[in-house]
Structure 1
């Protein structure tokens, strides 16, 4: 990736943890201007939710934007809670996530991040998806960023919350989606 930002881009998010992580991963590719806009989310699959959110954001902002949607998909539950993980976590907490899998032998999960880019109002969003396989575990580490304390990526002995941010930012679902988005943005000068 290049060493100077190619352009300024509006990132529609009110989540400061997410903003810091995305800024760290995209450093030198694009300068992000955060905008906290409360966007309604449709029900559906991750790609449908992501595209709709980006379309709405571009209409409101009247400029090129990126948005992000994260899913946590339990394999035992055929992908649920998926894009609704935010609401499950809010109501059940970290302990509730693992309790949801009581009675199942399979605690494996997939973290999925989808970034959507729109060139502006009326422009169809382009989606960039990243995935990270892992397992749902009893919460370990600071419970400050979503479900990170309850997700342990395959091949590691630590949850995302326990990991050094630099390591997490090289293996996470978000970093994999941003690698694709960053490569796309570099072709847009």
Structure 2
């Protein structure tokens, strides 16, 4: 079965395909010839994920799913949240990380979580799946793997950042892995 994932982010595509496995073929926006800039104007992860699947279904009529993910830092009142990808006003993740570290400064309260919400549009029905992982923000970047805020986030119960973990290790515990695991379980229960 093929599903369109409302992204062209190769890191996300690889993570999702690795979690879902070979039973399902995940297509990107490029694969279906979509070069549109799909709006993300919601104020919650749920709203943004839903916007993506609504857009794709109404334009292409395809079963699809979309996600919205972000980092929520308690000392910053949940920021960067839905603005994680463009927190500094640009999509430059180095600048986004610099801004987070600058705003946190020496604040000892560094608890945070990564959250993902997936919206699935299947057979003209909409479903939502969520995953989150608690952790903390460190004072400097560590590791060269992963993407986004991975170099400054250490998940609870671990002593290394997401960026220091192998993709396999991260895919066992990440917020996206949890949400995609729920999506995969749902699809398997539905005998697809």
Do they superpose with TM above 0.5?
yes
Quick one: which of 19, 23, 36 aligns to 2:17? 23
Poorly superposed stretches of 4+, deviation over 3 Å: none
Write the deviation string for residues 110-149 of structure 1: whole angstroms up to 9, x where unpaired.
10011110026xx353110000001112211127611111
Write the deviation string for residues 87-106 of structure 1: whole angstroms up to 9, x where unpaired.
01635332322212126331
Q: Is 1:79 matched with 2:82?
A: no
**Higher relative contact order (Cα pairs below 8 Å, separated by 6+ residues):** 1
Tell me whether 104-113 or 174-183 shows the greater mean CA deviation: 104-113
Distance between the aligned counterparts of 1:183 and 1:131, measured in 2? Answer: 17
Does the 8 A contact of 2:152 with 2:161 survive in 1?
yes
Distance between the aligned counterparts of 2:127 and 2:180, measured in 1? Answer: 13
Q: Which runs of 5+ in 2 are unaligned?
A: none
Match of 2:102 in 1: 99
Does the 8 A contact of 1:97 with 1:136 survive in 2?
no
Task: Using structure 2 for the length normalisation, give the TM-score.
Answer: 0.86
Does the 8 A contact of 1:29 with 1:186 survive in 2?
no
Count how many residue pairs are aligned between Structure 1 and Structure 2: 181
Match of 2:161 in 1: 159
Deviation at 1:167, TM superposition (A): 0.7
Match of 2:130 in 1: 129
- Please identify which structure carries the higher helix content: 2
Q: Is 1:14 matched with 2:37?
A: no
Distance between the aligned counterparts of 2:23 and 2:103, measured in 1? Answer: 39
Write the deviation string for residues 143-179 of structure 1: whole angstroms up to 9, x where unpaired.
7611111211111111111101111000000110011
Q: Is 1:114 matched with 2:117?
A: yes
Write the deviation string for residues 51-98 of structure 1: whole angstroms up to 9, x where unpaired.
122211211221100111111101112322111100016353323222
Match of 2:150 in 1: 148
In angstroms, what is the RMSD of aligned CA positions?
1.8
Does the 8 A contact of 2:145 with 2:162 survive in 1?
no
Distance between the aligned counterparts of 1:103 and 1:139, measured in 2? Answer: 15
Structure 2 SS opposite 1:132: strand
Match of 2:186 in 1: 184
